[in-house]
Each structure stands twice: as C-alpha cells, then as structure tokens.
Amino acid sequence: MDFLSKLTSALPDTPILTGPDCAPWVTDWTGAWHGEPMAVIRPACTAEVSQIMAMAHAGNVPVVPAGGRTGLVGGAHAPDALVVSLDRMNTIRQVTPRTRTAIVEAGVILQSLRESAAELGMQFPMTFGAQGSATIGGILSTNAGGSNVLKYGNTRDLCLGIEAVLPDGTVLDLMSELHKDNTGYALKHLLIGAEGTLGIITAAVLKLSPAPRVRSTAFLACPSLTDALTTLNRLQEATSDAVEAFEYMPAHYMAAYADMHPQARQPFTDIHGVNILVELASTAPRDAALSPEGTTVLQDTFESTLATLFEEGLLTDATIATNDSQRAAFWAIRESAAELSLAGPRAAIVNDIALPLDEIASFLDRMNALLPTLDADAFDMTVAHLGDGNIHYTVRPSDKALKDTIMSAVEAEVRALGGSFSAEHGVGQSKLSSMTRHKNTAALDTMRAIKQAIDPTGILNPGKVIPPASSSL
C-alpha cells in the first residue's frame, strides 16, 4: 500500500483531499508561491494529528501544517507534501472571565475568538487586517503582531500554554494556565514562532483582557516622525498608557487609498506627510465617566492634550472619530495595507522590518535617497506600527530581477541602524536568503541543532525558516 492508502485505511473518517480538491492549498495568499501538495488531510482532533505524524515519520513523508493561509512569506508552501489543515479543529473549549483565559483549538479563527470573548465582556487583544481568516495556530506559529502590540505585546506575550504534536507523533502537553512556571526550558516559546518546523500546535491557553469601557480614535497629522514619537510619549503620559495603537501612514499611502476607494471619506482635507491613526482605550470607570459637556473623561483628556500639542507645534491637524462608524472608516484605511501593497501588475518586495524607534526616520530618509539609485522606476508603499518600530516597507521594482539587490540594500540599512529584517511576518521561504546574509552564525547553528534533535528526518515544514548550512542563497 502507498502512503495515502495507508492513511485512508488508518483514518477512514478523516477527509483526505487530492487533485483538484487541493486547489485552495496550491497557491498562497500573495500569489507568489505555487505547488500542488500530495494531499490535504483535515483531522478533527489532536489524536488524529498524532497518528498522521507518526505515520509520516515512519514513511519519511514531508508534512506542512496549514491554518488560514494568509501568510506573506511562503511559510505554508507545500509542493508534493502532505498538508495537515487544522480548519476542523475549531472549538473554543472555554472562556473564563474570572481567570481571564481562553482555551481554544488551533483552527479557531481569530475573529471568532475575539467575538466570543466580547460576548463575556472580555477581549483577546490581538488584531490585524486578516483576523477574519487567520487561525490561532497560525498566529502562534508566526508569533503574529498587529496593531495592538504597543500595549499588549505579540502573540507570544498572550499565550500561557500550548499543546503540540512533534514530528514523530508525540503529543507535547504544555497546556498550563500558570503565569509563572520555572521548571526548565520554556518549550512553549520554542514552538511559538517556529512556523511549524518543530511541531504542529493543536491547542492553546490564551490570556484575555477586560473589554475597554471607553475608546477614543483619531487621525493626527504631525510635521515629522520625530514629532509623532514625541506625541506618542505625551499621550501615554497624559492617559496612563492608554494608547493601544499608533499607526503611521505617509502621504503616498493616503493617496493610494483615495485612488483605490474614491468614495471613501478622507480624514483630512489637506495632504499631510505624516499621518497617524491613534487609538486610546481604558477599562477604568473614571475614564468612562461623563463630563458636564457629555463627553467621557478619556475624550476630554485626549482633546486637551492634543490642544497643547498643537500649541507646541507637534501637530498640524487632527480629526477625532465621533461615532463607531467613523472609527471603522478610520481603521479601514489602515487595514487596507495588504491590499494597497500588493495591488498592481508589478511583483512586490515585502520588507517587514523592525527598528529602534529613534532610527525610523533615518531609515526612511536613507531609503528615499538610495532606492532611486538601485531602480529609478521603483516606488515604495510604506505603512508602520510606529509605536513598536515595525515598518512594512513594500517596494515595487521595475524589474523583478532586482528583487535580491533591493532586499539586500534594505537589509543592510536596517542592520546598520540596529534593526531586524523580520518583525512579525516570519521567515518562511522568502527570507531564507536574508537569514543567510544577516543572522548570526552561532544562532543559525543552534537552530539547526534544535531542528535536528526534534525532527531528525526533517519532514516537518521542510525548507522553511532555517537555510541549509551550505546555503549561498
């Protein structure tokens, strides 16, 4: 019997897709990666994942785990491999407001968890544009970021425990609800962010937070990025760190959004070079209390702080959302980033970088001068989680043959300024060359040793994250 026949015989009630039925898994969301998998299997529980991995291990069959397939780095590319889709493992087992925790399976859609928590007055604060398709297993495997990292941290910071299946089928039960546990290596953190190369995450214990009693959202225009960062610090001080999101969009981003959505209302009449979407949120009753004018204390504090910033020349314009509809319209501009960055006939070079906050302006100034010397017809589409230093610097070159040249130049500038070439999207396949060029040799050797120890046959998500030792990519 061949491997698929054995798999069908062992798991007769588990859907196994082949041929045309695999179409959704052939091409990734960006359209950059193509390859038909051997098959797609859709287990319903951890025991089935364990059995699948044990059989794949025995048969030396490559396995690629898949979540919502909205990644940007080719991390779920699976030509001729067995795809293990966790979409049927989508149960929210428990949401407990008293302990502020949720226990969920890996196939749960992020937005579904957020909605379930909201029904109980809680929130799972991870949020980004693809939350309607991204899964918990996927965001853990990539240590996803998003707009609220400034206040709540990355996915890693929101996870108390995980369950995972190792390459040989062993189930690693780390489903702890403890906030402190100093019993040896932090194995959950080894698997979080490993992009499915060390194990398949099947369930997790996640931290929840009380839902804010009050929010205030605004678009701000600042004379410079330096002024924007000063504005962030002043707002944090004035509101007791109530700033949840601080998102930067330059003039060309706003213009591109206006061109793509001509009917959408723009936050400003004039064109500004530095546009910031800022959102404040508070759970404190004092901030939600109404002033004599009928506005919340948080809103009053926000407005008075902005007035002072105007007087000091740190702001040139501001528009505060007056209702939920306007707030949603503001966020629609920011969450169109992927759509704007990847639209058009030219192949996009997606640079997901992190920099020290006070070096962001330097990086953009350097690239504004450098990019035209590499490709006179290239243009960038920049947007940033400014509060945590994460810039999405997407470049559209005139010739895709210039991709490596431009990526290398971007990474050199990032490295010179003390940054990282991968902030929140992961490495996958598209940044293997970046790992070869810039990752510390000792760190790469340690990663290879860990991979060899846990997955000696190299069957789990092969060819991702870690370049071969002899790589000259």
pLDDT at 99: 98
Give residues with Cβ within 8 angstroms of 49, minimum separation 6: 43, 84, 86, 89, 165, 200, 202
pTM of the model: 0.94
Paired residues of 420 in beta bridges: 354
C-alpha to C-alpha distance for 118 and 101, rounded to whole angstroms: 13
- Render each residue's pLDDT in the chain as its tens digit; 473 residues: 699 999 999 999 999 999 999 999 998 887 888 999 999 999 999 999 999 999 999 999 999 999 998 888 989 999 999 999 999 999 999 999 999 999 999 999 999 999 999 999 999 999 998 899 999 999 999 999 999 999 999 999 999 999 999 999 999 999 999 999 999 999 999 999 999 999 999 999 999 999 999 999 999 999 999 999 999 999 999 999 999 999 999 999 999 999 999 999 999 999 899 999 999 999 999 999 998 888 999 999 999 999 999 999 999 999 999 999 999 999 999 999 988 988 877 888 989 999 999 999 999 999 999 999 999 999 999 999 999 999 999 999 999 899 999 999 999 999 999 999 999 999 999 999 999 999 999 999 999 999 999 999 999 999 999 999 875 54
Residue with tokens 């949720």: 102
**What structural domains and CATH numbers belong to the chain?**
3-85 (3.30.43.10), 92-210 (3.30.465.10), 214-334 (3.30.70.2190), 343-423 (3.30.70.2740)
Beta strand pairing status for 82-85 and 63-66? Answer: parallel
Tell me phi and psi for residue 252, to 5 degrees: -70, -30
pLDDT at 432: 94
Residue 127, CB-side half-sphere exposure with 13 Å CA sphere: 18
C-alpha to C-alpha distance for 134 and 111, rounded to whole angstroms: 8
Question: Which candidate, 78, 8, 83, 46, places its Cα nearest to that of 464?
Answer: 78
Whether the CB-CB separation of 340 and 348 falls below 8 Å is answered with no
pLDDT at 471: 52
DSSP 390-428: EEEEEEE-SSGGGHHHHHHHHHHHHHHTT-BSBSSS--T
